[in-house]
Structure 1
Amino acid sequence: MEQSRPRLNEEQIMIQAKQPLARLVVSIIVSSVFWLYCAIVLWFFLSAVIGVNDRYSGVLKIAFKTTNGEIRTFLVIGLAIFCFFFLALFLWRSYNKKRFGSLNRRKEPAYTSIKDLERLELLSKDQIQELQRAQYIEFDVNPLKHTEERKHA
Structure 2
Amino acid sequence: MIIQSEKKTKRKIFEAVTTAIGWIFLVLFLFMLGSHLEWKINRNIYALSLVNSSIIILVTVIVIIISFLVLTLWGIYNKRRFGKLFRRSFPIPTEIEEIADYYSLSTIEVLQLQQKNYVER
* TM-score interval, smaller chain: 0.3 to 0.5
Give 1 or 2: higher strand fraction: 2
- TM-score normalised according to structure 2 size: 0.39
Higher relative contact order (CA 8 A, sep 6+): 1
- TM-score normalised according to structure 1 size: 0.33
Q: Which structure would you say has the larger Rg? A: 1
